[in-house]
Amino acid sequence: MEKRVALELRGRNPSQVKELNLDNCRSTNVVGLTDEYTNLEILSLNNVGLTSLKGFPTLPKLRKLELSDNRISNGLNFLNGCKKLTHLNFSGNKIKDLETLKPLEEFKNLKNLDLFNNDVTMIEDYRNKVFALHPALKYLDGLDKEDREAEDSDAEEEDEMNGNNESEEDGSEVEEEEDDDEDDGEVSLSAVYNENLEEESSEGSLYSGSEEEEDDDDEEIDAEHKSKLDEEDADGEPEESTRGKKRKHDDDEEN
């Protein structure tokens, strides 16, 4: 296990490691892991051959621990340095009674516990007793108290870690967006209203303008007609006077 830990470290400082996978490396005890992994959040030790958790380091930020398919039968108290555990997988081990699970009462954040394929699951009324032992527990062996399947644990844990602050921020953002939408709606309505007014006023001006042009045309026609009549009258007077003079001259000649 020590060589595997060094390999997975990849030259990093232990305090920089947040996730560590040591599946299938062979060891009966936890060795190579130290309290230096202060920021480790996810640790996987599946199918390692562990018979004891003695020497398990203090990992203050560890929230997910995979220990399936080992040979652990007791000693869960050695996990007490991992108070933030939310997900603990002990499936395929050798846990036989509820008394062995009592140290888990210290984990107030534990939401998901898997004991599938352990002898303890054969105890009468096992599920109700385990849920009573750990009131904060939400899922046992992948099912809740009503035997409904567990949701995506990673997404659920992220939501819980984000807390109510993000919800409040999201709510405020939604309110701001709604206010913006309302403002946009008001502006658009007023803009449409103003556009309609402008169109009506422009149409009115065009209409009035055409009427004025028609009136001007009528006045011009009337003026032209009047001038023609005046010209005819003017032309008529000389013709009448000429004819009258001619008749008078003819009469004088006859006399």
Domain ranges for the chain, please list them. 2-150, 163-255
Average model confidence (pLDDT) for the chain? 76
Residue 158, C-beta contacts closer than 8 angstroms, at least 6 positions apart: none
pLDDT of 135-148, one tens digit each? 899 999 999 999 99
DSSP-derived letter for residue 69 is S
Stretch among 47-56, 171-180, 185-194, 233-242 having the lowest mean pLDDT: 233-242
d(CA 9, CA 20): 8
pLDDT of 218-234, one tens digit each? 555 555 555 555 555 44
Do strands 19-21 and 42-44 pair parallel, antiparallel, or not at all (unpaired)?
Answer: parallel
CATH classification (class only), 2-150: alpha beta
pLDDT at 238 (0 to 100): 43
pTM value is 0.62
pLDDT of 180-200, one tens digit each? 554 454 444 455 445 555 555
pLDDT at 245 (0 to 100): 44
